[in-house]
Amino acid sequence: MDATEYRIRFAALKAYEARAIEMRKQLEKNAPDMETEDNAMATLPDGTEVAKVTRRAGYSRAKVTDQAAFTDYVAEHHPEQIVMAVDPQFTKHMLSLAVQEEIPGTDVVTVAGAFTASLNPDAYDMIWLHRETDPEFAAMVELP
């Protein structure tokens, strides 16, 4: 392979990668209802396992967004925790409480669940080989 061919192949792969990222985000937006902690194999129509797909649960966490308001709140309700600033360990504790109750100077951020896949070493070859023999499967995995 010469430099010109390498550059075009590299550019094509980067384009496919970008498109695949867009497609994955769209797929995740339209994910079916699944158990919070779903963990199952993705299989080809012939039963060949190609990946383990896991759905991790989303969660909420709090963060201090107004240090002055938070410090005032702690000074009023937990004055023993005030030194020159709120003890970092106590801040963590208060942030865990802020997910359930309103604490001045904090906001709750919801982190969405996510999917991961642990591919079998030959997953790519198995998928693309199967694609060549099954038109319906090929349409399912085709890049637009």
Quick: pLDDT tens for 44-100: 999 999 898 888 778 889 999 999 999 999 999 999 999 877 899 999 999 999 999
- Picking from 19, 41, 48, 13, the residue whose alpha carbon sits closest to that of residue 133 is 48
- Name, in order, each residue with C-beta under 8 angstroms of 23's C-beta and a sequence gap of 6 or more: 143, 144
Spell out the domain ranges in the chain.
1-30, 59-111
Do the Cβ atoms of 42 and 53 come closer than 8 Å? yes
Dist CA 68 CA 74 (whole Å): 10
Q: What is the pLDDT of residue 63?
A: 94
Sheet architecture: strand order including 49-56: 39-43, 49-56, 114-119
Q: What is the DSSP letter of 31?
A: P
Predicted confidence (pLDDT) at residue 39 exceeds the cutoff of 70: yes
Q: What is the pLDDT of residue 30?
A: 80
For the segment 30-53, the average pLDDT, to the nearest whole number, is 82
Dist CA 144 CA 131 (whole Å): 15
pLDDT tens digits, one per residue of 89-116: 999 999 999 999 999 999 998 888 776 7
Residue 126 CB coordination number (10 Å): 18
Q: What is the pLDDT of residue 13?
A: 67
The pLDDT confidence band at residue 125, using thresholds 50, 70 and 90, is: confident
Residue 107 CB coordination number (10 Å): 13
Both structure tokens of 28: 């995740």
The residue type of 32 is: P
Residue 99 CB coordination number (10 Å): 15
Q: What is the pLDDT of residue 78?
A: 95
Q: What is the pLDDT of residue 144?
A: 62
